[in-house]
């Protein structure tokens, strides 16, 4: 209801010679001032001032307000609720919207309270602010049933996301997924923004982790992967969120879900190539794309570069799931593509450990050449105890394989390891010292055998 319409009702009531108590006439005069002042304050977002004026305006008793103005008086309660929402006074807003809906219903098709059903929507939103999820769900659903489709317009994207979030907060994952998928499927027409979609995914992940419902989370992520993978110039903004969700899932033992989240994280190298191609293409949007490319370059020099974190997380999840060959490939890519990464040392230690494990498995299964190759790759880096173990076993396998031929190469490999680790000796732990000593001992033993073999008999 417009302020002019309400004031017209006030003036008509007075000039028609209606007989009211003096207090009622004073209230009408006061309304004649308060209503436009409150609306003016709302327009300039002076919510506290507007609320003060509306609080006075809504002081009239319900029976009297209905007699004087009918359902139209509910509009004032609606506006009061809006001010209370803006000031985050959620419980007060709930009461105001409830009053608007319950106490000032429209009579027939007149529609005097133009915000009666819209009050259900705002009642639900206020309940969300107050974290009263069940009330919010019931009001939202009632609004969908009762709203006037021609008059009660609303932002459908955030509505369905919020409804989904309410279900997630109550641990109702299937119901929440249904609402979130409505928002995602209609993201172009509602529209639903990436911010809103990611907010829904965060709520889903929290509910799934708390309820240990990896299957429900994984099913949703795989079913909607294309919609959750944003274009490069948009995806960078959400990569940190997806990395955090992947880390949270992995920490909860949900490694398949973690991998699904890592798949949603921007691949910086691929994104960089794509952005450069699009910048060079006709009809592109250079300012937006150029800014995204610059952000990618800046991120690569930050303390938390996306590329290495993504690969390291994927490798850890793959290893936790028992897929050591794939974890090895992922860590090899990390070492190759990001040689200056802050994660380099840790990655090399993990890579060597995985290689040793794969080589040991190959040796147990009789695949000796594969085992020798695996041990050799592990000992080349010369990092940690695993490298020393790999060097020792590589020397032994090569020595035994080269019967009557080139056994000297077994010694050379050990000597190369000792030389590579000589500068690190002061930094080695006690366990690493023992492992290195084992390599040195084996080298001396093989050297002695080779010397004895070439010396002439007495």
pLDDT digits (tens, 9 = 90+) for 236-284: 889 989 999 999 999 999 999 999 999 999 888 888 888 888 777 766 5
Quick one: DSSP state of residue 70?
G
Q: Does the pLDDT of residue 6 top 70, yes or no?
A: no
CA angle 142, 201, 88 (to 5 degrees): 55
Per-residue pLDDT, 27: 63
> Residue 219: CB partners within 8 Å, gap ≥ 6?
none
* 16, burial (CB in 10 Å: exposed 0-12, middle 13-18, buried 19+): exposed
Q: Give the ranges where 338-423 is alpha helix by DSSP (H).
A: 344-364, 368-380, 384-401, 408-421
Give the integer Cα–Cα distance in Å for 260 and 235.
Answer: 15
Question: Per the CATH hierarchy, to which homologous superfamily does domain 1-153 belong?
Answer: Tetratricopeptide repeat domain (1.25.40.10)
Which has the higher per-residue pLDDT, 427 or 106? 106
Which has the higher per-residue pLDDT, 411 or 128? 128
Per-residue pLDDT, 9: 44
Mean pLDDT of 372-397: 86
User: What percentage of the chain reaches a pLDDT higher than 70?
Assistant: 90
Per-residue pLDDT, 290: 80
Give the integer Cα–Cα distance in Å for 143 and 168.
Answer: 20
What totals of helices (H) and strands (E) does the chain contain, helices first?
Answer: 24, 0
> Residue 37: CB partners within 8 Å, gap ≥ 6?
53
Q: Indicate the average pLDDT of the chain.
A: 87
Per-residue pLDDT, 405: 74
329-336 — which CB contacts under 8 Å span 24+ positions? 334/308
- Closest by Cα among 163, 241, 159, 162 to 205: 241
Does the bond joining 191 to the residue before it have cis omega, within 30 degrees of 0?
yes
CA angle 333, 382, 323 (to 5 degrees): 40
Calculate the alpha carbon distances from 167 to 154, 437, 450 in Å. Answer: 20, 61, 75
pTM, entire model: 0.82
Calculate the alpha carbon distances from 228 to 9, 200, 223, 233, 305 in Å. Answer: 52, 11, 10, 14, 21
pLDDT digits (tens, 9 = 90+) for 328-355: 999 999 999 999 888 998 999 899 999 9
pLDDT digits (tens, 9 = 90+) for 87-108: 999 999 999 999 999 999 998 7
pLDDT digits (tens, 9 = 90+) for 304-322: 789 999 999 999 999 999 9
């Amino acid at each position: 209801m417009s302020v002019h319409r309400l004031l017209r009702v006030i003036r008509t009531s007075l000039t028609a010679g209606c007989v009211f108590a003096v207090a009622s006439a004073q209230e009408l005069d006061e309304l004649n001032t308060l209503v436009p002042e409150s609306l003016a304050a709302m327009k300039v977002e002076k919510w506290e001032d507007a609320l003060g004026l509306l609080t006075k305006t809504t002081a009239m008793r319900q029976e009297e307000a209905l007699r004087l103005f009918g359902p139209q008086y509910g509009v004032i309660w609606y506006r009061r609720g809006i001010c209370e929402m803006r000031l985050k006074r959620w419980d007060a807003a709930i009461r105001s919207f409830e009053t608007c809906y319950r106490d000032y219903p429209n009579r027939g098709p007149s529609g005097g309270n133009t915000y009666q059903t819209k009050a259900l929507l705002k009642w639900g939103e206020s309940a969300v602010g107050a974290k009263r999820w069940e009330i919010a769900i019931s009001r939202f659903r009632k609004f969908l049933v009762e709203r006037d489709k021609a008059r009660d317009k609303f932002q459908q994207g955030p509505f369905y996301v919020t409804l989904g979030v309410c279900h997630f907060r109550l641990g109702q994952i299937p119901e929440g997924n249904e609402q979130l998928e409505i928002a995602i499927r209609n993201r172009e027409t509602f529209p639903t923004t990436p911010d809103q979609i990611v907010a829904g995914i965060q709520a889903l992940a929290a509910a799934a982790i708390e309820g240990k419902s990896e299957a429900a989370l994984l099913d949703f992520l795989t079913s909607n992967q294309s919609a959750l993978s944003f274009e490069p110039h948009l995806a960078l903004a959400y990569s940190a969120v997806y990395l955090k969700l992947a880390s949270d899932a992995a920490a909860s033992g949900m490694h398949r879900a973690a991998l699904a989240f890592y798949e949603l994280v921007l691949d910086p190298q691929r994104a960089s190539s794509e952005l450069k191609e699009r910048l060079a293409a006709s009809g592109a949007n250079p300012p937006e794309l150029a800014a995204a490319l610059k952000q990618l370059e800046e991120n690569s020099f930050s303390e938390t570069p996306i590329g290495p974190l993504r690969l390291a997380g994927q490798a850890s999840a793959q290893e936790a799931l028992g897929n050591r060959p794939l974890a090895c490939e992922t860590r090899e890519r990390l070492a190759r593509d990001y040689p200056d990464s802050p994660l380099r040392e840790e990655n090399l230690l993990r890579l060597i450990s995985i290689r040793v494990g794969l080589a040991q498995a190959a040796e147990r299964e009789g695949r000796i050449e594969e085992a020798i190759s695996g041990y050799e790759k592990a000992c080349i880096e010369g990092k940690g105890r695993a490298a020393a173990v790999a060097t020792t076993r590589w020397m032994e396998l090569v020595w035994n394989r080269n019967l009557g031929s080139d056994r000297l190469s077994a010694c050379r490999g050990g000597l190369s390891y000792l030389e590579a680790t000589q500068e690190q000796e002061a930094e080695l732990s006690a366990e690493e010292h023992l492992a290195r000593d084992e390599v040195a001992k084996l080298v001396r033993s093989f050297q002695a055998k080779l010397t004895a073999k070439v010396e002439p008999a007495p």
